Amino acid sequence: EDMTEENLRSVKFLLELPRAKLGPSASFLDVMIEMEKQQRLGEDNLNELYNTLEKCDRQLAYRIENFKYMRRDPGQEGRLLLQKMPNNEQLPLPSQMETEREDGRRRGYSVGSIVTDSDIPSSSDEYYTMTQRPLGYCLIINNYNFEEMTSFRNRKGTEKDRDDLKRLFQKMHFEVEVQNDLKASDIKDVITTFAKKDHTQKGAFVCCVLSHGEKGAVLGIDGKGVEIREL
């Protein structure tokens, strides 16, 4: 259900599945069922699906890789593998995720589903070392009050998201700092402040920006944009 229509069309095209059996309304589940019928997909036969998703939906491809990892080591069932993403990999922009959240809460992984200890060998080049305590800094920028300075609506419900994220990353051993209702210039300033901190003894840094957004940017409560690439 997390797959976009565009990516779904790409998957159908790349897999060369019969159009007669998969109409325009066919879902990703329908695609997988058809692959199973053709013996192109199974619990021990995931390579074709993984290779296809690698070309059009890298996030889902990582989920497949995680599933394969858990099958190799059943003791890790229910825990999310934290893999290094390629240097040129682009994560979803906060503005994109915020748009999706407006119509309903999206599901996330539970705290217990994430590997943050020494279960993954630190000598492997494929994985981040996540054993430091504290693990790192987590900055949460939460913009609610837009009506005072702009024509945008206030972001009702953002307090719950903020509190949920705070609890999540505290349980993952991050030092969490929350900044509320920041103008665009203030967002840049607080990011710069964290960039200047000493991260040499930390394993990770997390920044969550809960705000209105536009393509390639998040908005301060003054309605001015901050380019994601600047952050």
Q: Is the pLDDT of residue 94 over 80?
A: no
* CA gap 68, 72 in Å, rounded: 6
Query: pLDDT (tens digit, 9 = 90+) per residue, 160-189?
Result: 999 999 999 999 999 999 999 999 999 999
Does the domain at 136-227 match CATH 3.40.50.880? Answer given as no
Query: pLDDT (tens digit, 9 = 90+) per residue, 110-169?
Result: 444 444 444 444 444 556 667 889 999 999 999 999 999 999 999 999 999 999 999 999
What's the confidence (pLDDT) of residue 119? 46
What's the confidence (pLDDT) of residue 54? 84
Rounded to 10 deg, the angle between the 28-37 and 5-15 helix axes is 20
Query: pLDDT (tens digit, 9 = 90+) per residue, 16-59?
Result: 887 777 777 788 888 888 888 888 988 888 889 988 888 888 78
Q: Can you tell me whether residue 55 is helix, strand or coil?
A: helix
- Give the distance from CA 157 to its chain's centroid: 20
Q: Is the pLDDT of residue 15 over 70?
A: yes
Taking residues 55-73, report their average pLDDT: 76
Q: Is the pLDDT of residue 76 over 80?
A: no
> CA dist 140 to 1, 118, 119, 176, 228, Å?
27, 26, 28, 7, 15
What are the sequence ranges of the domains in the chain?
5-72, 136-227
Q: Is the pLDDT of residue 79 over 60?
A: no
Q: Is the pLDDT of residue 73 over 70?
A: no
Q: Is the pLDDT of residue 90 over 50?
A: no
* CA gap 152, 154 in Å, rounded: 7
Q: Considering only 39-53, 66-80, 190-204, 211-225, which range has the smallest mean pLDDT?
A: 66-80
Q: What kind of fold does domain 5-72 have according to CATH?
A: Death Domain, Fas (1.10.533)
